[in-house]
Structure 1
Amino acid sequence: MSALTYRIFLKRIPYHVGSIAVFVFFIVLIACGACVGGYLFQATKILLFNAGFVVTKIHLTGNRKTSDIDILDLLELDGESLMINFDLDKARRAISRLPWIAFVSVQRFYPNQINIHVIEKDPMALWQHDGFVDIIDCKGDVIIPYISSILGSRKLPLFVGKGAGFEAKTFIKRISVFTDITEHAQAYIRIADRRWDILLDTGIRLKLQEGGEAISLSRLKAAGGILSRDVDVIDLRLPDRITVSLSKESLARRIALLKDFEVRRKRQKEGHI
């Protein structure tokens, strides 16, 4: 190559190429040294850390009953956790075990953010059983023990007895059209895991036919006026009759009237009246 051709060749090469080449040379040299010395992972970690690929932001959405702290504690972040090392599946499994969580999505957003979206279980009812009261979902599965402050002003129906929680959704669906009953229901009581009683806020107890809850309430509605009477129990278990039991106060008054009637009758016979 002549001296003129060499000078022309040098002019065509950008002036900063040499610096870049030197930088690349040293990076390769460091990488080779790290491989030989067994420090490649540490060198890579330092490089990524300095480049900003560290988890520094967590964006949470969808959690109302579950606190941010409960979720963040499960992520095991230490301020130096690299994005590439963050285990998405492990985070999903850990968060999904929290009592209110029905669904969870965990995603990376480079360079430094983790997005977490959860869908929480919808509480359907309270279930009193074995001496405890629990909040349950639509499947009858226990979410957490009942704490009034968690629900706030929301009122949930109360189911009582063995098996009541698992049958709650089906039962409510069967009687949902009888709003004059459901609006005054204080508790739905499962009897021997076979049939239902309804305790009203007036103190009246309705005993429903096994497997014929809607039929029982239809008969009650057709009878008309029974709920306004001074009774304790309305027995609808038999398909061909309705039996009522008087309240204690009503029974006492009736007994008093009968006694008074007997006294008056006896006096009449004796000629006193």
Structure 2
Amino acid sequence: MSARLMANPQFRPTLGGRAPRDEMPAPPRAMAASAQKGNRRRAWPRWTRPAVKAALVLVPVLLLAGAAGSAWKRASLAETVAAARESVMDASGALGFTLNEILVVGRTETEREAVMEALGVRRGEPILAIDLAETKQRLEELPWVSGASVERRLPGILYISLSERQPMAIWQHDRQFTVIDRAGRPLADAVELARRGNQRIDTLPQVIGANAPQQVQSLLAALDRVPAIRPRVTSASWISDRRWNLQLDNGVTVKLPEGAGMPMALRQLAELEATGKVLDRDIVAIDLRQPERAVLQTNATAQLPGWEDESKKKPNGKKT
């Protein structure tokens, strides 16, 4: 009796009893990666991507349409542009781009109130509406500020970096004491800073004379080359609008020549101090106005304080 074998349409022959490649189970690592990928895909609803694309397209279109609609009611192009900008700023604020925090770095001498007044901003306003260039200019107009940078750190932080001028001397004039920098620019009232407890004021030398601030830069540059002398200078007087008299911490007055001879005279004084400790002697003044010559005045031959540049003669011919 013969038996008919029915072919199974889903039957697939195998080689050596092995299952075909497409029917082999996936390794566990691949299954875990596939599951994680599926979870990531299911983290956002399917409608999220189309909605975001539509928002990116529709928001600018609506803003422009609103601005164009208001243009028919405006009398000039400037008003139309201003209205469009205001609409964009209001829209950015509604999206969360508002000023929430102000970070200022580099501020040492500048008062916090002065910085806030120069900024002219308020918390909660659209951060995109802040004019960075104008804000930077107002900050650099502050006496202590030599440079400023202003950045937006979205969504709500205004980051400000300040560079401040360094106080170098106190200018005494008209019974006032003004802190100045190396270039002679006025920075602040020295008495007010001392009242607030600023300890740097006590370390600054004084400069005296109507035009002393304009000449202090060359004096400080010359003193920088003689580090042994500079710390001992307590004050400097600009004499006859031509030259300097230095007052040292031991009461000795040093008369410097005018013009290009001043740096050379200071080096000469530094050499005399290094070799002979001339500043430790019982003297009241050192005249360095003549090239390569130092005239030392002791207590016995000293003139009165504030002695003049040129000696005056009495009627009988004697010098004072």
Same fold (TM over 0.5): yes
1:91-138 C-alpha deviation (Å, 9 max, x unpaired):
112211111111111122222222111111112222223332211112
- CA drift of 1:199 comes to 1.1
User: Is the deviation greater in 31-40 or in 234-243?
Assistant: 31-40
Q: What is the DSSP-based 3-state SS (H/G/I as helix, E as strand, rest coil) of the residue aligned with 1:183?
A: helix
Q: In the alignment, what sits opposite 1:210?
A: 258
2:299 counterpart residue number: 246
Query: In structure 1, what is the equivalent of residue 144 of structure 2?
Result: 100
Alignment of 1:101-180 (within 5 A): 101-146=145-190, 147-148=193-194, 149=196, 151-153=198-200, 155-180=203-228
Distance 2:84 2:225 in 1: 70
Is the CA contact 1:233–1:246 (under 8 Å) kept in the aligned structure 2? no
Please report how far the alpha carbon of residue 33 of structure 1 lies from its aligned counterpart in structure 2 after TM superposition: 7.6
Q: Deviations along 1:157-199, whole A, 9 cap, x unmatched?
A: 2222133222223223324444443332221221112111111
Greater displacement, 32-41 / 189-198: 32-41
Structure 1 65/15 Cα, relative in aligned 2: closer, same or farther at 3 Å?
A: closer
Q: Is the 8 A contact 1:108 1:115 kept in 2?
A: yes
Counterpart contact for 1:232–1:247, Cα < 8 Å:
no
Deviation at 1:52, TM superposition (A): 0.5
Q: Distance in 2 between matches of 1:108 and 1:172?
A: 39
Alpha-carbon RMSD: 3.9
Q: Which moved more, 1:101-110 or 1:141-150?
A: 141-150
Encode CA deviations 1:195-214: one digit per residue, 9 max, x unaligned.
11111222221222223234
Q: Which runs of 5+ in 2 are unaligned?
A: 1-44, 74-82, 305-320
Q: 1:191 to 1:85 in 2, by over 3 A?
A: same
1:31 CA drift (Å): 8.4
Question: Where do 1:56-71 residues align within 5 Å?
Answer: 56-71=100-115
The equivalent residue for 2:289 is 237
Alpha carbons 2:282, 2:298 under 8 Å: kept:
no
Change (3 A) 1:247 1:81: farther
| Alpha-carbon offset, residue 51 of structure 1 | 1.4
- Cα 1:88–1:189, aligned 2, differ >3 Å: closer, same or farther? same
Report 1 or 2 for greater relative contact order, CA contacts < 8 Å, sequence distance ≥ 6. Answer: 1
Question: Are 1:85 and 2:126 counterparts?
Answer: no
Letter in 2 for 1:128: Q
- The verdict on how the C-alpha distance between 1:86 and 1:187 changes in structure 2, with shifts beyond 3 A counting, is same
Larger Rg: 2
Give the structure-2-normalised TM-score: 0.60
- 8 Å contact kept, 2:183–2:214: yes
Contact 1:175 1:213 in 2 (8 A): no
Gaps of at least 5 residues in structure 1 are 1-13, 252-273
Structure having the larger proportion of residues in helix: 1
Query: How far apart in 2 are the matches of 1:59 and 1:94?
Result: 17
Using the alignment, how far apart are the partners of 1:105 and 1:125 within structure 2? 27
1:100–1:150 Cα change, 3 Å: farther
Distance 1:144 1:15, change over 3 A: closer
The equivalent of 1:51 in structure 2 is 95
| Residues 108 and 193 of structure 1: CA distance in aligned 2, closer, same or farther (over 3 Å) | same
Verify the 8 A CA contact 2:92 2:128 in the aligned structure 1.
no
1:165 partner SS: helix
Distance in 1, matches of 2:181 and 2:142, equals 14
Amino acid at match of 2:295: I
